């Protein structure tokens, strides 16, 4: 796929999947790349060094001599010494453009370490090969093939009927990943599942990765990124997957997510207490609607103007998830929507169809365009009556000012917002989105 130029990028190149390693407790990324790659990734995601990522990742710091003679010897030394200096449960070597073009055979090198029992994985992440949405899948699949598979004897395939592996928010690329993953895990556990969440503080680290084969099936919450993982697991372990194609935000979509997941579980002989599970959903939903009622009071009694339409510039999962939520649960009408995640063509039709399902009466115009500079120019030329809301990344602050939009920063890069463990998924996530939007509005209240 030939890429076009991009201004104001909202994702990065394949080596950005470094963050998927950073998100695994006690995993150590090793970069076989130029000296700036780790720092670039760190700068893009901000506060993203974690245990030993960003510029603190061991790195071969390619110089001219490695470009000419290859960098394998230098990499061997760095791996050897990283064991002396850094504690880790798993090492993942990621390659940059330099190593990619020079053609270093890192897999043979990794074998030298595997032979002496070191858990080590290699992934090709040259920047020109892919972006980090795609490379996230490559990293996960590489760990499954080169690490998880070694433990298959102790972890028989589909041996735990109530266990699922969950793949959803991409660590750091989704700035709400920690909160979202925690929410999914919590919700599914309340339904009776055991969940391998794999990333972040809720993960049990490498032992959880070793036990991936045990799961009865996989759950994918994503329109397209991560699909390569669940397809791969289906191929090698015969685990079917349940796919929910956007982020479930608020009650409508969260209920739909959980109920359809329960049906899927039932079809796959998952021994759950289904009655109890449904009661839990009802309980959560009731608590949610109590707050929605409060919101309605606020919306109806606020006299000084509220946003009545929204443009969203985000990845496909958020554009669809937020648009559905905003129309149905806050009354803000989605106008032109922009998906900037470089969605592969084969997924675009399904995403269009999913968004179309938002309403039988309304057609929401949708554009797939990774060049956000171009997207901004399009928005510049659109005008509607009323007060507009723009949900996007830090890049859009200036445009919002220009267009007198209320602005919610909800995508990377995120220089104007500190997100620690806030999540937007689920019942509570929906309430949080409301708070964030209307706090912005209230901040303009004199």
Binding residues for another protein restricted to 119-138, rule: CB under 8 A: 126-129, 131
Among 19, 23, 32, 66, binds another protein (CB under 8 A): 66
DSSP one-letter string for 308-365: EEEEEEE-HHHHHHHHHHHHHHT-PEEEEEEE-S---HHHHHHHHHHHHTT-SS----
**Token pair of 52 as six digits:** 């030993």
Does residue 60 touch another protein according to CB under 8 A? yes
Stretch of 94-102, 200-208, 225-233, 265-273 contacting another protein, by CB under 8 A: 94-102
Does residue 415 touch another protein according to CB under 8 A? yes
How far is residue 275's CA from residue 440's CA, in Å, rounded to a whole number? 40
Stretch of 98-106, 188-196, 284-292, 321-329 contacting another protein, by CB under 8 A: 98-106
Tell the smallest beta-carbon distance from residue 397 to another protein (Å).
Answer: 8
Tokens 């329109």, located at residue: 223
Tell the smallest beta-carbon distance from residue 124 to another protein (Å).
Answer: 11
Residues 13-52 that bind another protein (CB under 8 A): 13-16, 28, 31, 34-44, 46, 49, 51-52
Residues 248-307 that bind another protein (CB under 8 A): none
Does residue 58 touch another protein according to CB under 8 A? yes
Does residue 403 touch another protein according to CB under 8 A? no
| Residue number, 239 or 342, with CB nearest to another protein | 342
Give burial (CB, 10 Å; 0-12/13-18/19+) of 275: exposed
DSSP one-letter string for 147-178: TGGGGGGGS-TT-EEEEEEEE-SPBTTBTTHH
Does residue 101 touch another protein according to CB under 8 A? yes
Tell the smallest beta-carbon distance from residue 37 to another protein (Å).
Answer: 7
Does residue 81 touch another protein according to CB under 8 A? yes
* Cβ neighbour number for residue 2 with a 10 Å cutoff: 3
**For residue 194, what is the enclosing H or E element?**
strand 194-196
Tell the smallest beta-carbon distance from residue 335 to another protein (Å).
Answer: 23
Binding-site size for another protein (CB under 8 A) equals 73
| Residue number, 9 or 284, with CB nearest to another protein | 9
How far is residue 245's CA from residue 27's CA, in Å, rounded to a whole number? 29
**For residue 77, what is the enclosing H or E element?**
helix 72-85
Which residues lie closer than 8 Å to 343 by C-beta, 6 or more apart?
223, 224, 316, 351, 368
Among 20, 23, 62, 248, binds another protein (CB under 8 A): 62
Does residue 116 touch another protein according to CB under 8 A? no
Length of the chain: 446
How far is residue 195's CA from residue 189's CA, in Å, rounded to a whole number? 7
| Residue number, 58 or 248, with CB nearest to another protein | 58
Does residue 405 touch another protein according to CB under 8 A? no
Tell the smallest beta-carbon distance from residue 69 to another protein (Å).
Answer: 12
User: What is the per-residue binding string for another protein in 365-394, x denoting contact by CB under 8 A?
Assistant: -----x--x---x----------------x
Q: What are phi and psi of 142, to 5 degrees?
A: -65, -40
Does residue 108 touch another protein according to CB under 8 A? no
């Amino acid at each position: 796929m030939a890429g076009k130029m991009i201004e104001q990028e909202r994702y990065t190149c394949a080596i950005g999947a470094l963050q998927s390693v950073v998100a695994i407790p006690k995993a150590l990324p090793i970069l076989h790349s130029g000296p700036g790659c780790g720092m670039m990734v760190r700068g893009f995601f901000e506060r993203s060094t974690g245990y030993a990522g960003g510029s603190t990742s061991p790195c071969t710091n390619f110089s001219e001599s490695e470009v000419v003679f290859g960098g394998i010897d230098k990499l061997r030394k760095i791996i050897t010494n990283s064991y002396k200096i850094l504690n880790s449960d798993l090492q993942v070597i990621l390659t940059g453009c330099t190593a990619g073009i020079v053609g270093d055979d890192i897999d043979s090198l990794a074998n030298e370490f595997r032979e002496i029992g070191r858990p080590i994985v290699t992934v090709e992440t040259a920047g020109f090969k892919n972006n980090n949405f795609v490379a996230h899948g490559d990293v996960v699949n590489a760990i499954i093939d080169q690490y998880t598979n070694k433990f298959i004897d102790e972890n028989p395939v589909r041996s735990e009927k109530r266990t699922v592996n969950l793949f959803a928010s991409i660590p750091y690329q989704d700035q709400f990943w920690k909160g979202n993953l925690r929410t999914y895990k919590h919700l599914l556990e309340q339904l009776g599942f055991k969940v391998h969440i794999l990333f972040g503080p809720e993960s049990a680290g490498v032992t959880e990765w070793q036990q991936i084969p045990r799961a009865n099936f996989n759950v994918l919450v994503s329109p397209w990124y991560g699909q390569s993982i669940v397809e791969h697991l289906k191929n090698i372990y015969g685990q079917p997957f349940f796919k929910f194609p956007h982020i479930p935000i608020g009650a409508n979509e969260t209920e739909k997510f959980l109920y359809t997941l329960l049906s899927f579980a039932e079809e796959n002989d998952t021994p759950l207490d289904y009655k109890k599970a449904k009661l839990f959903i009802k309980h959560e939903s009731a608590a949610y609607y109590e707050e929605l009622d409060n919101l309605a009071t606020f919306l109806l009694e606020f006299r000084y103007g509220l946003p009545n339409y929204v443009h969203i510039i985000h990845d496909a999962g958020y554009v669809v998830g937020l648009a559905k939520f905003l129309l149905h649960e806050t009354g803000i009408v989605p106008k032109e929507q922009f998906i900037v995640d470089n969605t592969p063509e084969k997924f675009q039709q399904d995403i269009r169809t999913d968004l179309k399902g938002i309403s039988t009466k309304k057609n929401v115009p949708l554009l797939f365009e990774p060049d956000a500079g171009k997207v901004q120019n399009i928005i510049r030329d659109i005008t509607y009556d009323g007060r507009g809301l723009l949900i996007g990344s830090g890049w859009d602050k200036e445009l919002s000012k220009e267009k007198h939009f209320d602005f919610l920063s909800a995508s990377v890069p995120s220089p104007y917002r500190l997100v620690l463990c806030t999540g937007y998924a689920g019942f509570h996530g929906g309430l949080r989105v409301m708070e964030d939007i209307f706090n912005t509005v209230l901040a303009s209240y004199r």
